[in-house]
Structure 1
Amino acid sequence: MIVHPSPPASSALRQRMIEDMTVRGFTAKTQHDYIRYVKTFAAFLGRSPDRATAEHLRRFQVHQTQTGLQPPGINSAVAALRFFFTVTLDRPDLARRLALVRQPRKLPLVLSLEEVTRLLEAAPGSKYKAALGTAYGAGLRVSEIVSLKVTDIDSTRMLIRIEQGKGREDRHAMLSPHLLELLRAWWREGHRQGLMLPQGWLFPGRNPVTPLSTRQMNRAVHAAAQAAGIQKRVTPHTLRHSFATHLLEQDIDIRVIQVLLGHAKLDTTALYARVATSTIRTVMSPLDRIWLGPQDEARPDG
């Protein structure tokens, strides 16, 4: 049977959904992803998604599982469809039929202080040394780093302004003296190369009017890890993980770390307690408070 999908792309339904998302301040990427997931559901259904039933939703999720779609993909589709049925169609009864899949939480990969030192020293040039130093020294996401402007660096208050970070919220990140030195070294070099425009990007791309891309950042950190002889699978986010874990090992309050990372929930930050090995090593086991005395291998009556 030939399936002719009727997604909201060709109807007022799609426009209504876009308007609903726009009113709620969804980013362009989120809107694109939500529309794509609803189109996928419509293609599976073979008809307009506003004609779906609870059984259709159940069969769609079974189909996703059988085709090997991983939990993150399934849950993203659930978020999109829940919005579509709850907001756009005003059918929360159908939205409740969609089941989220529990995702196993993996421990984040963390570098040692020595490995971070080697990685930064192996960075390909002063721009990438400063950019990777920002990931580790301030704990920023790669998307936040490439979006920085020169004017976001406040050397008087020793703060970095993050505009519209994750969750579309502004916040301040810490600016350490050593990171400021790296940034100034890059600014001098970038200014000499004619890359630093007034009010421009802190880390411009090949064309100074456009920022460095996240892909370029990823390639740079992979090259630095290889040059430094680090066998771990390192990404820019690994430096953010390392920032949080090393602060926790310095006994910095976890709520302070939560603010620095821009986490909405403390549970997200608490994950780093599971990889803060020096913190784990300093905890005294209750067994160590018990003196059992030397054990005589001989039997008492032997």
Structure 2
Amino acid sequence: MPKPFSYKIGIHRNQKVIFILFEKDSNLIQEVKKIQGSIWSQSKKVWYVLDTEYNRSLFNLEPLSYSLPSEEGIKHVQKFSYWLKSKRYSENTIKTYTDALKSFLVFYNTKDILTITNEDLVTYNNEYIIKNNLSHSYQNQLVNAIKLYFKTIQNISLELDKIHRPKREKVLPNVLSKEEVKKILEAHVNLKHRAMLSLIYSCGLRRSELLHLKSTDIDSKRNIVIIRQSKGRKDRIAPLSPKILDLLRDYYKMYKPKNYLFEGKTEEQYSEQSLQSVLKQALKKVNITKPVTLHWLRHSYATHLLESGTDLRYIQELLGHNSSKTTEIYTHVSTKSLQQIKSPFDDL
């Protein structure tokens, strides 16, 4: 690769990645785009690729084999994975938790895991997580994984009750105005693209919930959509508006999906990357430069419901939240009450 590039190992979207760093230059951007699997991060404003053996060799970085736990550590990771599977944890949780334990054991590669103490965890937090500017949420996941593992093997060296998670960041959800949502949903001429984005907003769906929907989950007689085994392995229902139902009928007549409601070219489940691309194209068409994600549509759905007078308890059910505290955050971004407050500046 050209000399102007430098590389940094990091974490992004709960994945180990290699950040590609360089001075902003159109020619260099074209070079990066040629790298197979390169992705632009809108939130971090940097290009990156997944941290794989191939990509490390491509950039002349230390091989992954040097960053593995000891042989004994690998056995601990495998044991943890086996236990998580037996408890029916989701595939994403299993991957996140085992990767977290693996990272911890790499850090203490030469230490017997049964001698690890609370002080070691504090050192790990300071020397790895904080030093590498990893997020509060990622640190929280790491602590959860390590606590859960040591609880399952009943390690007496670690005092689990004294392990504290980081203070939760108080971040407000990103919300679009109804006008912005309307522009995004109407941006595509393609009926499938319009139907996917519209269904996410009209029912407050998560990305994975939309992609796992099947045609049989749309109950047109009761005007509901059944969201099966979503986060927390819970089923729930959401109401379908007459407008979205008409849109879905037109879509079904044109595409006739076989299994999943939204399928790719080979009749398989529509991919997450393709869905992200659909949103990205819509934003470009309507000239919205905010770093909008699919989850912003879900946040906007909840906030607009609240502003129209829907009871918070119903919104909690519609979103599938376990705790009302999770849903209450939308009261902080709703402008309905704020708009009634008169600023003293107006009286000057």
Cα deviation for residue 6 of structure 1 reads 2.3
Of all paired residues, the percent bearing the same amino acid is 33
* Residue 145 (str. 1) matches residue 210 (str. 2): yes
Match of 1:74 in 2: 139
Asked which structure has the greater RCO (Cα within 8 Å, sep 6+), the reply is 1
**1:172-191 mapped onto 2 (5 Å cutoff):** 172-191=237-256
1:173/1:283 Cα in 2 relative to 1: closer, same or farther (>3 Å)? farther
* Residue 132 (str. 1) matches residue 197 (str. 2): yes
Cα deviation for residue 253 of structure 1 reads 0.2
What letter is aligned with 2:169?
P
* Residue 114 (str. 1) matches residue 179 (str. 2): yes
Residue 113 of structure 2, aligned match among 44, 49, 74: 49
Match of 1:34 in 2: 97
Superposition TM-score, scaled by structure 2 size:
0.74
RMSD after superposition: 2.4
What letter is aligned with 2:103?
T
As a proportion of its length, which structure holds more helix?
1
Residue 265 of structure 2, aligned match among 206, 212, 215: 206
Tell me how far apart the structure 2 counterparts of residues 159 and 148 of structure 1 sit (CA, whole Å): 13
**Unpaired runs of at least 5, structure 1:** 288-293, 296-302
Tell me how far apart the structure 2 counterparts of residues 176 and 132 of structure 1 sit (CA, whole Å): 14
* Residue 263 (str. 1) matches residue 287 (str. 2): no
1:7/1:271 Cα in 2 relative to 1: closer, same or farther (>3 Å)? farther
**Unpaired runs of at least 5, structure 2:** 1-65
1:8/1:238 Cα in 2 relative to 1: closer, same or farther (>3 Å)? farther
Tell me how far apart the structure 2 counterparts of residues 284 and 90 of structure 1 sit (CA, whole Å): 59
Residue 74 of structure 2, aligned match among 10, 30, 48: 10
Cα deviation for residue 110 of structure 1 reads 1.4
Contact 1:135 1:141 in 2 (8 A): yes
Superposition TM-score, scaled by structure 1 size:
0.85
1:14/1:125 Cα in 2 relative to 1: closer, same or farther (>3 Å)? same
Equivalent pairs, count: 279
* Residue 242 (str. 1) matches residue 306 (str. 2): no
Per-residue Cα deviation, 1:54-110 (whole angstroms, up to 9, x for no partner): 221221111121232221221111010000111233548433343311232222221
Contact 2:224 2:240 in 1 (8 A): yes
Tell me how far apart the structure 2 counterparts of residues 220 and 74 of structure 1 sit (CA, whole Å): 31
Tell me how far apart the structure 1 counterparts of residues 67 and 93 of structure 2 sit (CA, whole Å): 27
Match of 1:85 in 2: 150
1:236/1:111 Cα in 2 relative to 1: closer, same or farther (>3 Å)? same
Contact 1:41 1:49 in 2 (8 A): no
Task: Find runs of 4+ consecutive structure 1 residues off by over 6 angstroms.
Answer: none
1:87/1:164 Cα in 2 relative to 1: closer, same or farther (>3 Å)? same
Tell me how far apart the structure 1 counterparts of residues 239 and 324 of structure 2 sit (CA, whole Å): 19
As a proportion of its length, which structure holds more strand?
2
Moved more, 93-102 or 59-68: 93-102
Per-residue Cα deviation, 1:11-49 (whole angstroms, up to 9, x for no partner): 2x3343233322322112211221111111111112342
Tell me how far apart the structure 2 counterparts of residues 282 and 68 of structure 1 sit (CA, whole Å): 40
